[in-house]
Structure 1
């Protein structure tokens, strides 16, 4: 590992990116536009399906549980259930034994579910939730920033590698003492620097106008972002390690990014989703990036609390980077 060659490639890649004004502007403008749009579109919650939490669901007996178009989710811990309620993961929480319920007043879905509950059980009493209420824009923020990081990591690395390969840049670099590991590592750290810088600027700029909900540590949030971006960049390198066509890499990157955008909890909670769907989501790096960042922001979680997500991201990064370096192809010939 020659550090001089390594940093030379890092410097060249950074200069190349920052000189491309259109790419730099879009990286900064896109997530800002999304956050502004979501803050105006959704006043409290963005989900279309009713989700009702029930304390000890298996022991509850009520005809209300037969209501269609409502997902009933079992909770053993009342504190966890109330936290999910405040974070818009569920719309209402019912305790049939205690004949009481909790509702998120900022949730449009919660308002209608409450009417249904009172129609079936008019004697149930409403209890207020404690703590600062979380807006939908606060809840969706980690997902929007994570999604922007995903596209920047995957497409920013994938297309660059393929363009280098088609233009014979990689073929020329192969003739130098630069090794595949040095080149791949330099690309990774260059994109990591770019992604963290642009994401930080976006967060600070939007926070000035929206005053985002923040309970955790900014240092912990930065560590989650670094590890998540590292994993996504490694995945982009793996996808592009053999591709020689811009059309092919476009399809492969879309195939990689769309499942993550839909199944990683970016726009809606997977609370109450089928177990098979949750299992698939566990294999997506964006799932753990968004979940970890969301816990730090809205729950004040520490690195120990999210060690599971950090561990998964670290393992994924190691696997993706190792495979990407091993299968890396310098040439454009088929």
Structure 2
């Protein structure tokens, strides 16, 4: 049974410890902002090496237009998906040959040019117009950067701190108090959860004024993904630090845990064209489901029901990490 007086005392102490550490606070605030600013600068510009045209049931189409050089033709089975991509400027034209209808984005210069090329081959199609705002790379990479920042904050904020407490015999002293392991661990998780969500919200809000991020979904749904994802990463950090007594060892273990997630979780690039074994491996990493779920909410307007698979996996991972971390948790430096 948790004594909430002791529980909230530990939560308050941990929060004060974090916010009084100006260097750590500054790093959590400015590091993701600098990354976003850098990517916005590097990937700004409108240039494309080729036009892209979405075609409904491409494999069934026979048309000279399909042979046009310097145009990439992408197959879509569902018209609405192609229109969504067109609205987001990811393709320049959407064509349904069976209905003799094409759609263009009147806000896109590329749509205008591809339409002129298309009409040179087919001038009897019905013309439909749509509008939409372009998804920039900075909009696409935003969930990855916030997720990566959350990952480091969760893993090192719990794992490294617990090992430091253990090495400095703080845990040994706490063990002599009425504070139970459940109260201490729960307080650490709640404290870091509050810090991570608060800092992520501040960073997102501040950057939104500078970059005017694309957002189709619900901020509440995004918050749910963030909280569940943070809890999963916190539980993982607790598991990694449950027995370690060396700061050098825990640093290596946390890097070993975080770097595969940074590379394989779709933070910087899409995994759609990756080999199947890479996708399978990525599915075992919690950051993959955090980034994918948040990205679908932001760029596709997905609801919680649409990303229920990712939420379920995060919930299962959180339960496993938490149970194993609590089982192996040790107060003392002795193994």
Tell me which interval the TM-score lies in, with the shorter structure as reference length. Answer: 0.7 to 0.9
Instruction: Please name the residue that 1:143 is paired with.
Output: 144
Structure 2 distance, partners of 1:195, 1:170, is 23
Deviation of the 1:144 alpha carbon: 0.9
Q: Equivalent residue for 2:133?
A: 132
In structure 1, what is the Cα distance between the partners aligned to 2:181 and 2:213? 42
Alignment of 1:1-334 (within 5 A): 1-43=2-44, 55-56=56-57, 75-84=76-85, 123=121, 130-334=131-335
Label 1:237 to 1:45 Cα distance change in 2 as closer, same or farther (>3 A): farther
Q: Is the 8 A contact 2:36 2:142 kept in 1?
A: yes
User: What is the alpha-carbon distance in structure 2 between the residues aligned to residue 223 and residue 261 of structure 1?
Assistant: 21
- Note the alpha carbon deviations across 1:35-93, whole angstroms, 9 max, x for none: 11111100269999x9997754665789x99xxxx9997642233245356668x7678
Instruction: Indicate the SS of the match to 1:315.
Output: helix
- Between the aligned partners of 1:263 and 1:316, the Cα distance in structure 2 is 17
User: 8 Å contact 1:220–1:302 — kept in the other structure?
Assistant: yes
1:194-219, CA deviations, whole angstroms, 9 ceiling, x for partnerless residues? 01111111111111111111222222
- Does the C-alpha gap of structure 1 residues 183 and 32 become closer, same or farther in structure 2, counting only changes over 3 Å? same
Q: Displacement, 1:180?
A: 1.8
Instruction: State how far apart, in whole Å, the 2-side matches of 1:257 and 1:174 are.
Output: 30
C-alpha distance in 1 between matches for 2:290 and 2:139: 16
Q: Secondary structure at the match of 1:319?
A: helix
Q: Offset of 1:301 from its aligned partner? A: 1.9
1:305 to partner: Cα distance: 2.0
Could you report, residue by residue, the CA deviation over 1:227-253 in whole angstroms, capped at 9, with x for unpaired residues?
A: 111111111111111111111111111
> Alpha carbons of 1:91 and 1:284: their partners in 2 closer, same or farther (altered >3 Å)?
farther
Q: Deviations over 1:301-327 (max 9, x none)?
A: 222222222222112111111111111
* Kept after mapping to 1: 8 A contact 2:15/2:191: yes
Quote the Cα distance in structure 1 between the aligned partners of 2:260 and 2:73: 25
Paired residues, number: 326
User: Taking structure 1 as reference, are residues 328 and 53 closer, same or farther at Cα in structure 2, changes over 3 Å only?
Assistant: farther
- TM-score normalised by L of structure 2: 0.82
Two-structure CA RMSD over aligned residues (Å): 3.7
SS of equivalent residue, structure 1 residue 208: helix
Whether contact under 8 Å (2:86, 2:94) holds in the other structure is no
Give per-residue Cα distances to partners, 1:77-130, cap 9 Å, x unaligned.
233245356668x767886967999999999xx99xx8xxx8xxx948999764
Could you tell me how far 1:177 is from its partner in structure 2? 2.4
SS at match of 1:229: helix
CA distance in 2, matches of 1:47, 1:247: 46
Unaligned runs of 5+ in 1: none
Q: 1:56 to 1:10 in 2, by over 3 A?
A: same
TM-score for the superposition, normalised by structure 1: 0.82
Change (3 A) 1:261 1:93: farther
